[in-house]
Chain A
Amino acid sequence: MALFGPAHDATLTDNCLTRNDWVCGEYVRTRSDEILDALGQHVTITVVSLAIGFAVALVLAVVARQVSWLRGVILGTSTALYTLPSLAMFALLLPFTGISATTVVVGLVLYSLTILVRGILTGLDAVPAEVRESAVGMGYDGFRLLRKVELPLALPAVFAALRVATVSTVALTTIGMIVNHGGLGNLIARGQRSNFHAEVLTASALCVVLALVADLALLALQRWLMPWRRAVNA
């Protein structure tokens, strides 16, 4: 290329920004504030959605186990919600929650419910009946049985679901850009509209990295919460 380039080429500020390269360190250096803001928003929205989603899913799963006819209703409703496309979900929430981060959080919570409720139920169902009976025989009941015996034994299934929910929530947060609260999705949308390659690729790559980091963090948390497993694996 250099052979055919204009003679005054060297006098122009020639960097990856002016060339509109996909990979551009200059972009990351000059816009680091913006990128960190978007990343912060992305992490906040993801963490808040997952925390609320997990709390609601736990309650729903316990209710579904107590009241048998509610089980089908809860599983069916959450599956139907999962079928709803994300753009439609955020659009339907818009009249109630407006152009705000709440719209995104509520949408993401509803999505995470399908995966989390199923995962928690699978885990609780897999607790052997003998274990439950002996705990009851030892005087455990109600909330204490759940907290001390059933939930710890359900942890592997719960964590499997939590990891799936986390990775998809990180990816889905980008669609929040439709109401301007998409974290890194905002950068992708703006970059796409203005044909700014580095902005789109950097933000997209950060999304994937964020999902992988969150997944690894959950894996570490799981090992820390289940020391008996670690002993077996080692």
Chain B
Amino acid sequence: MNALLDGLSWLLDGENWSGPAGVGTRLVEHLWITSLSMVIACAAALPVALWLGHVGRGGALAINISNIGRAVPTFAILAILYMTPLGLSIWTTVIALVLFAIPPILTNAYVGMREVDRDAVEAARGMGMSGGQLLRAVELPLAIPLIMGGIRLATVQVVATATLAAVISGPGLGRIITSGFGRRDVPEIVAGAIIVGLLALVVEGLMAWLQRAVDPMRRAGRRTSRRDRDHELPLVREEVVGGA
């Protein structure tokens, strides 16, 4: 327990928060690389997944890509990218994070599009909707819970994985932990772990809230029963759980 208290008092010391290697700088770095990576990953994965889901092709690809992604250690990707001409630039970290964010976004969005009630799709077609209208007005709104589930999973994973950038001297909060290891300073190591853990939990909480907030069915109050939905979600999410 002493170690935890030492870590907390390290965190409460204002001096550790300022300066170029302070908690403040590292936190900003961490949030910057994670949001940049998520924007790029969403921009790359969502259009592809929505299109594949709409036309109903490439299912095996969308599912397998996340299974393969799980077998590749993040640390290995970071180390390999570091040895390319990219070196220590932030792109080394960002590319690694994008690679790890794409599978859950892609898989969940694809599954979400495919699981849209076929009767609703047929009805919309019968009403004369074009492919684009169908995608925008019917499939997308109904797929939102799963699409957001994938984005939530990816965000949490990216926030956690960004910590590893520190192992190759990259930016972010992980640097507090690795610098603690370098100086054999246990309070600093524990303090870094506490703040990284807190950030991950806060982001998970925020994303869970956002996932609910943007669900058009929930907002419209048209959902049949809360139990039905909540029961469905974990089964699909289970498939795409990934570690960092």
A and B interact: yes
Chain B nearest CB: distance from A96 CB in Å? 8
B19 → chain A closest CB, angstroms: 21
Q: Once the chains bind, are A211 and B71 in contact (CB under 8 Å)?
A: yes
B243 pairs with A111, CB closer than 8 A: yes
Stretch at the interface among B35-43, B114-122, B185-193, B220-228: B185-193
Q: Which residue from B73, B82, B168, B181 sits with its C-beta under 8 Å from A171?
A: B73
Which of B82, B160, B189, B241 interacts with A164 by CB under 8 Å?
B241
Contact B73 A87 (CB under 8 A): no
| Set of chain A residues within 8 Å of B178, measured between Cβ atoms | 87, 178
Is B238 among interface residues, defined by CB-CB distance under 8 A? yes
Interface residue SS majority, chain B? helix
Cα distance, A118 to B238, chains bound together (Å) = 8
CB of B75 closer than 8 Å to a CB of A = yes
Q: Within the complex, which residue of A80, A89, A204, A215 is in contact with B76, where a contact is CB–CB below 8 Å?
A: A204
Tell me if A201 and B80 are in contact (CB < 8 A): yes
Task: Select the stretch in A29-37, A52-60, A139-147, A189-197 that faces chain B.
Answer: A189-197
A189–B163 touching, CB < 8 Å? no
Is residue B111 contacting chain A, with contact meaning CB distance below 8 A?
A: no
Contact assessment for A85 and B238 in the assembled complex, using a CB-CB cutoff below 8 Å: no
Report the minimal beta-carbon distance from A9 to chain B, rounded to whole angstroms: 25
A74 at the interface (CB under 8 A from B): no
Residues on A with C-beta less than 8 A from B2 are 95
The reply to whether A207 and B76 form a contact with Cβ atoms under 8 Å apart is yes
Interface of A is mostly: helix
Interface size range on A against B: 35 or more
Q: Which residue of the partner chain, among A115, A122, A204, A211, contacts B80 with CB atoms under 8 Å?
A: A204
B234 at the A interface (CB under 8 A): yes
The segment from B10-18, B51-59, B126-134, B196-204 that touches chain A is B196-204
Sort chain B's interface into a size bin. Answer: 35 or more
The yes or no answer to B146 lying at the interface (CB within 8 A) is no
Interface residue? A172 (CB, 8 A): yes
A91 to B189, CA, bound (A): 6
Interchain CB contact under 8 A, A114 and B164: no
B238 with A83: CB separation less than 8 A? no
A192 to B165 alpha-carbon distance, docked (Å) = 13
A171 lies within 8 A of B160 (CB): no
Most chain B beta-carbon neighbours within 10 Å: one of A89, A178, A185, A197: A178
Assess whether A127 is interfacial by the CB under 8 Å rule: no
Is there contact, CB below 8 Å, between B79 and A91?
A: no
Which A residues are CB-close (under 8 A) to B76? 174, 188, 200, 203-204, 207-208
Q: How far is the CA of A119 from the CA of B74 in the complex (A)?
A: 24
Residues of A within 8 A of B80 (CB): 200-201, 204
In the assembled complex, how far is the CB of residue B104 from the closest CB belonging to chain A, in whole angstroms?
A: 13
Whole-angstrom distance between the Cβ of A122 and the nearest chain B Cβ: 7
Q: Contacts of B242 on A, CB cut-off 8 Å?
A: 168
Of A80, A170, A200, the residue contacting B83 (CB under 8 A) is: A200
Task: Report how far A122 CA is from B237 CA in the complex, Å.
Answer: 13
**B156 at the A interface (CB under 8 A):** yes
Instruction: Assess the B243–A168 pair: CB atoms within 8 A.
Output: yes
**In the bound complex, CA of A175 to CA of B238 (Å):** 23
Verify B160–A192 contact, CB threshold 8 A.
Answer: no
Min CB distance B107 to A, Å, is 13
Which residues of B46-88 have CB atoms within 8 Å of chain A's CB atoms?
67, 70-77, 79-80, 82-83
Cα–Cα, bound, A231→B83 (Å): 50
Q: Which 5 A-B residue pairs are closest in the complex by CB-CB distance?
A: A95-B3, A204-B76, A85-B160, A91-B193, A88-B193
Interface residues of B (CB under 8 A from A): 2-4, 67, 70-77, 79-80, 82-83, 156, 159-161, 163-164, 166-168, 174, 177-178, 180-181, 186, 189-190, 192-194, 196-197, 200-201, 204, 234-235, 238, 241-244
7 other A-B residue contacts (CB within 8 Å) besides A84-B197, A189-B79: A86-B164, A87-B177, A87-B196, A88-B194, A92-B194, A94-B3, A185-B73
Spell out A's residues near B (CB within 8 Å).
80, 82-89, 91-92, 94-96, 111, 114-115, 118-119, 122, 161, 164, 167-168, 170-172, 174-175, 177-178, 185, 188-189, 191-192, 195, 197, 200-201, 203-204, 207-208, 211-212, 215
